[in-house]
Amino acid sequence: MKQAETAPARRPDEKPGTAGRKRGWHLFKAENGFDMVFFALTMLILVIGLVCLLSASHAYSFYKNDGDSYHYIKRQLIFALMGIAAMVAVSFVDYHILHRFAIPLMVVSWGMLVVVRMMPPIANVHRWIVLGPVRFQPSEVAKFALVLLFAHLISINHKRMKSFTRGYLPFVAVLGFTCALVVIEPHLSGTILLLGIGLVMMFVGGTRVLYLALSVLLGGGLASYVIFVMGYEIERVEVWLDPFAVYTSSAAGKDLAWQTVQSLYAIGSGGLLGQGLGNSRQKHLFLPEPQNDFIFSIVCEEMGFIGALLIILLFILLIWRGFSIGIKAPDKFGSMLAIGLTAQVGLQVLFNLAVITNALPNTGISLPFFSYGGTSLLMLLAQIGVILSISRQTHRRV
Amino acid sequence: MTHGRQQDVSFQAPARHMWRRTLAVILLFALGFTGVSAQLLRVQVFEGAVWRRRAQEQQLSGQPVAAKRGAVYDRNGEVLARSVETATVLMRPAAIPDEESRRLIACQAAQLLGVDEAKVYARTGKTYSNCETVAARVDFDKADAFIRWLQTCSLPGVFRIVRDYRREYPGGSLLSCVLGFAGSDGSGLEGLEARYESTLAGKPGRVVLTQNGWGDALPQHLQYEDTIDAQEGNSLTLTIDANIQRMTEMYLDTAVRECGATGRGCAIVMDAGTGAVLAMAVKPDYDLNQPRELNDYGRRLLNAAAGGQDERLLAALQSQWKNKAVSEFYEPGSVFKSFTASMGLELGLVTETTPFYCRGYYSMPGAPLMKCHVYPRSHGSQTFAEAISHSCNPAFMTLGGMVGGENFSRFFEAFGFTERTGIDLLGEARVTPSLYHTAERITPLDVATSSIGQTFKVTPIQMITAMCALTDGGELLQPYVVQRVTAPDGSVVAEQGRTVRRRVVSQQTAQRMCALLEGVVDGGGVKNAYVAGYRVGGKTGTSVKTDSAVQADGRKNVVASFMGIAPADDPQAIVLVLIDEPQTAIRYGGTLAAPVAQQIFSQLLPYLGVEPRYTEKEQKQLARIVPDITGLTAAKAQQALEKQGLKLYLSGDGTSVLRQNPPAGEPIRTGGRVVAYTSAEPARTVTVPALIGGTLAAALSKAADAGLNLLIDGFEQDAGTAFIAAQSVPAGETVPLGTALTVRLLYKDSIE
């Protein structure tokens, strides 16, 4: 494997004679330390997310787990602690080592995607691999593998990214194959996320905009054809257009639109200032699985629009900081890795918020740092660790 | 920063395009987040209230709190309908722990709440249910006893007590046709209860509880209870006077029973000056507290009807609940002649002395002979006033011909016979042109038959309202039953009074007509409506129900009616009595309906404070009040009695009177004998003779022979033709010597 990068000689904005003095954001940075802002934002969001999970899940947990209100939060806490440890640990690892894992991890994740198709379905879908007490989604692994592989490919091909055969075809092939494996689980939201991440990385990586635009048009056209002409998932679109009408139309419609409508009930009940932390009513067996994809509806109900907006603002800061680390990364690989991982978090947050507010049709996308899911959180924090590792090198000095 | 990056060639990556494209991605993300934030703002803030309201529908379990229904009072404040607070005991079968508890609950509920044990036991088995009734609307003390028992046993979360109300009608069947009743849910189903539902109902309150998606209560810290108080309904004060209502119902009921009227009977008493209804009765009636029990009338309909049991029962009940006085049509017959007569007076076609000739029939070309009711005899030559008091058919047909179809229709409409009266009662029948002859199609023959009240139909309320136009000086009024609507705090919400609809005839015509009607009772045939001391005017009517089935004796059914006014010179009250399908041999309005009106008037007029003015003849025959003669010597007692026109019967050998019979203050017929005991001896007794069916003279001599006194109900105007219709103590009973028997007189020779 070709190592294209060398360490940068010096920070471009470094002025002679100011080495010892740190101003602005530099105040939070230790020498060779990671980006404290990014770390702090992560921890802040994680803590808020855990508090919200406790609030959102305790009632549901009480009813579903024989009176144990803390079933979900206990598990999530353990994974969060493990995740923080992993995050810090990973941040100490030089991310360049990941070059070596780029192709093998992709292959492994493909293998897992094939294996998961053969596992017994859970709730009619083949999304989880169960290993004893641990349960994880190969599509989560595939996301990271995709980011890693794309970062790797872009970093070694960055001069030839304008080429169709080098800068477009391999990416589309990998993306297409991975998506194909995920979509047959079936896992529509995972597929959309993979496509989004792939698209962002190819775009930033330098693929011709023309190719991308044509691909998006083609893909959009194909998707429209599948939905509107073949009628696949058309109910979701109907629910999306007028959830309450479907909800009140029939018993079947009620089931179909239940989650979306209950989410809107929760959000609307929050109003501007919210019912107060812990005071959600929708979490009491109205909103199904309030600890999962729709956790933010409960957050909206309890914290109100103001509270929700503050949390969204924290996410925006995190994403901005992630991209900023990517831009400041010492090399193409680190750059693409940070941008890809940040885009993954950002897209997931964005899609989740869009779904719970019914700005987009309902697909199961969890909210990073908030939604219940131990392995998922562990992986997310490890990925944040990778970004932190990259951030260590943005201000590495000679 | 951008500047610095551009210069940095050794910094091999990220290239310039990459930086720009990252910025583009950041911008796209910013756009996306702005979009979802805007959507969040829309859902949460702008549409928030809508979603919140919808969410609350599922989050809150509203327990309605019943509102107390307004009461109904008569004009003197007597309660006719009221709501009393009761308790409904509910349980949650899902919370009952075991079989033993089920049995215990059923047993205790049966003992303490008086409900069916087996039924309650069955309900305790519905473990899927969160709410089952143990006992609905029981008295509070019963519920209290049950609660006390609950405190001694450990059944947490099983029971809940809800306050509600039960509708009570203290008068039972009193005024049932007007009041109607409320259903078990408290909403009015019939009569005023239904007509004034929104006024009486009030607004139910709510106790709001939070619940989870399974319908269970939320944990304590999230639970909140909010109570919206129920608002008590407004009360109604009626124009009805319960005392007048009672006398009306009593006399009507007796009459309807005696003649076995199969089509029910009804009576209306109206304030002659305002159109306010003082009493309205339909007999047989039904108990408002048990409205679903059939009365005689309902049972007869049930047996006669065809179809399924439930339909028949429902139809029968609805018929028995129907207020005959406003919802059923009948042919008014001769009573209507009052209106034909006033048309003639108003148009100046006749005066009281205009001559009419009766040949016993009236003929029109191309029509069969129309007979007078005295046919083959005739009334011969008579004045108009006499024709009215004779109720002469040919005379009125002649008058009808003089009035003409156009005028007849105009007055017919002006009197209100072509429209509803608009009385504030439920179920006033809708008047359709098929019921009468419209101005466009009325023929001379129609005018002739209509002039004597035949070939068209009206409702009793239309008739009495039209009569009210004559008694109040010629203006047609709006009849009404509700005088006042009062809020729970006592403030008056709405008030109703005399409302003029239009002028029908001039004041003179109206007054002359009232005087003419007095002649019918005073000098004419309707002696049965005569009340001593009062000037009663009125008109009888007997109309054949042409559309009814022929009876067993080959006759068609009739409607016997009488409408009277009193006092005729200054009318205070109008009484309309209608007896539908009487089954007696003699079934004239004068013999069946007029006596009812007479009885009502004889109590009503003193009650209304109308001073009696007796004629000389009446003075002589007036009942005497027995003076107190105890303690007096025999001579003094004799003196005291003679002053009253009474005689003394002395028993014993003492010097002064120790006891007397009848006691002091009791009225007896003039010439009666008061028994006085001067020594301590047991009261002598005698056996009551049979007086019914005999003449008054025979009754007087029999009573005198037995040593009893009489009191005449009705007046001895022309004792020769009167017979005794009723006696207060049945023949054969033993009573003390001197006791006063009340007998009712009836005249056989009444017209129609």
Please name the member of A315, A320, A357 whose beta carbon is closest to the beta carbon of B26: A320
Distance from CA of A221 to the nearest CA of B (A): 21
- CA A300 to chain CA mean position, Å: 20
Count the Cβ atoms, other than its own, within 10 Å of residue B318. Answer: 13
Q: Which of B7, B18, B25 comes nearest A12 by C-beta?
A: B7
Can you read off the two tokens belonging to residue B729?
């103590």
Mind listing the pLDDT tens digit for each residue in B470-525?
A: 999 899 999 999 999 999 998 999 999 999 999 999 999 999 998 888 877 765 55
Q: Spell out which residues of chain A touch residue B217, defining contact as CB-CB under 8 Å.
A: none
Q: Is the pLDDT of residue B74 over 50?
A: yes
Mutate to test the interface with A, among B43, B57, B220 (most CBs of A within 10 A): B43
Residue A397: the pLDDT is: 38
User: pLDDT value at position A308?
Assistant: 95
Q: Do B44 and A300 touch (CB under 8 A)?
A: yes
Contacts of A305 in chain B (CB under 8 A): 40-41, 44-45
Q: Nearest chain B residue to A360 by CA: give it.
A: B36
B642: domain CATH number is: 3.30.10.20
The answer to the question of residue B198 being in a domain is: yes
Structure tokens at B525: 């045939």
Residues B535 and B518: their CA atoms lie apart, in Å, by: 7
Closest chain A residue to B5 measured between Cα atoms?
A: A12
- Examine the pLDDT at B296 and tell me if it is beyond 90: no
**B68: helix, strand or coil:** coil
Closest partner CB to A268 (pick from B1, B51, B58): B51
For chain B, the maximum distance between any two Cα atoms, rounded to a whole number of angstroms, is 157
Comparison of pLDDT for B713 and A392, the residue scoring more:
A392
Contact B539, B391 (CB under 8 A): yes
Dihedral (CA of B461, B466, B470, B474) sign? positive
Contact A8/B219, CB-based, under 8 Å?
Answer: no
Residue pLDDT, tens place only, B432-446: 988 999 888 899 999
Summarised one tens digit per residue, pLDDT across range B724-733 is: 888 888 888 8
Specify which residues A238 forms β-bridges with. Answer: none
Cross-chain Cβ contact B47/A268 below 8 Å: yes
Contacts of B48 in chain A (CB under 8 A): 267-272
Residues B588 and B634 in one domain: no
Selected for mutation to probe chain B from A156, A305, A315 (highest B CB count within 10 Å) is: A305
Are B368 and B502 part of one and the same domain?
yes
Cβ separation B222–A6 shorter than 8 A: no
Q: Verify that B131 and B159 share a domain, yes or no.
A: yes
Residues near B582 by beta carbon (within 8 Å), at least 6 away in sequence = B259, B260, B261, B558, B560, B592
* pLDDT above 60 for B8: no
For residue B55, give the nearest of A282, A319, A350 by CB distance.
Answer: A282
Q: Please count the structural domains in chain A.
A: 1
Domain contains B587: yes
Which residue in B18, B44, B210 is closest to A268 by CB distance?
A: B44
Say if the Cβ atoms of A332 and B32 lie within 8 Å.
no
Whichever domain contains B88, its CATH number is 3.90.1310.10
Is residue A373 included in any domain, yes or no?
A: no
Q: What pLDDT score was predicted for residue B11?
A: 41
For residue A220, tell me if it sits in a domain: yes
> In chain B, which residues have their Cβ closer than 8 Å to the Cβ of A268?
43-44, 47-52, 54-55
Could you tell me the CATH number of the domain that includes residue B410? 3.40.710.10
Q: Is residue B402 part of a domain?
A: yes
Dihedrals φ, ψ of B441, to 5°? -115, 10
Query: Between chains, do B5 and A200 touch, taking CB under 8 Å as contact?
Result: no
- The residue that leads in pLDDT, B379 or B407, is B407
Last residue of a domain, one of B211, B236, B261: B236
Residue B56 lies in a domain: no
Nearest CA in chain B to A337: B14
Alpha-carbon gap, residue A385 to A88, rounded angstroms: 6
In terms of domains, do B373 and B469 share one? Answer: yes
User: What percentage of chain B exceeds 70 in pLDDT?
Assistant: 93
CB contacts of A308 in chain B (<8 Å) are: 40, 44
Q: Is the pLDDT of residue B4 over 50?
A: no
Q: What residue of B is the nearest CA neighbor of A274?
A: B44
Domain membership flag for residue A73: no
Distance CA B131, CA B137 (A): 16
**Distance between B3 CA and the closest CA of chain A, angstroms:** 9
* B717 shares a domain with B591: no
Domain housing A121:
99-365
Instruction: Tell me: do B385 and B447 sit in the same domain.
Output: yes
Best interface-test mutation with B: which of A99, A267, A367 has the largest number of B CBs within 10 A? A267
B380-383 and B370-371 as β-strands: parallel, antiparallel, unpaired? unpaired
Counts of helices then strands in chain A (DSSP H, E): 14, 2
Q: Is the C-alpha dihedral spanning A284, A289, A293, A295 positive or negative?
A: positive
Give me A12's structure tokens. 């471009």
Question: Which candidate, B363, B337, B362, places its Cα nearest to that of B350?
Answer: B337
Domain end: B610, B643, B676, which one? B610
Tell me whether residues A308 and B40 touch, CB distance under 8 A: yes
Determine, for residues B40 and A357 on separate chains, whether the beta-carbon distance falls below 8 Å.
Answer: yes
**Contact criterion met (CB below 8 Å) for B93 and B123:** yes
Strands B647-651 and B659-661 turn out to be unpaired
Tokens of A16: 């002679």
Residue A377 belongs to some domain of the structure: no
Give the domain extent around B37: 2-46
How many domains is chain B built from?
4
Domain co-membership, B518 together with B594: yes
| Same-domain check for residues B535 and B583 | yes
**Most A-contacting residue of B6, B20, B23, B40 (CB-CB within 10 A), to test interface:** B40
Q: Are B583 and B558 in a shared domain? A: yes
- Per-position pLDDT tens, chain A of length 398: 444 444 444 444 444 444 444 443 343 444 568 888 999 999 999 999 999 999 999 888 888 887 788 999 999 999 999 999 999 999 989 899 999 999 999 999 999 999 998 888 887 788 888 887 778 889 999 999 999 999 999 988 888 888 898 889 999 999 999 999 998 888 888 999 999 999 999 999 989 999 999 999 999 998 888 888 877 778 888 889 899 988 888 888 888 899 999 999 999 999 999 988 888 888 888 888 899 899 999 999 999 999 999 999 999 999 999 999 998 888 889 999 999 999 999 999 999 999 999 999 888 889 999 999 988 999 999 999 999 999 988 754 33
Q: For residues B263 and B266, what is the distance between their CA atoms, to the nearest angstrom?
A: 10
Residues B550 and B654 in one domain: no
Instruction: Give the residue on A whose Cα is nearest the Cα of B27.
Output: A320
At which of B183, B205, B236 does a domain end? B236
Residues in chain A: 398
B582 plus B673 within the same structural domain? no
- Of chain B, the percentage scoring pLDDT greater than 90 comes to 36
Q: Do A284 and B222 touch (CB under 8 A)?
A: yes
Q: Cβ contacts (< 8 Å) between A208 and chain B: which residues?
A: none
Residues B341 and B387 in one domain: yes
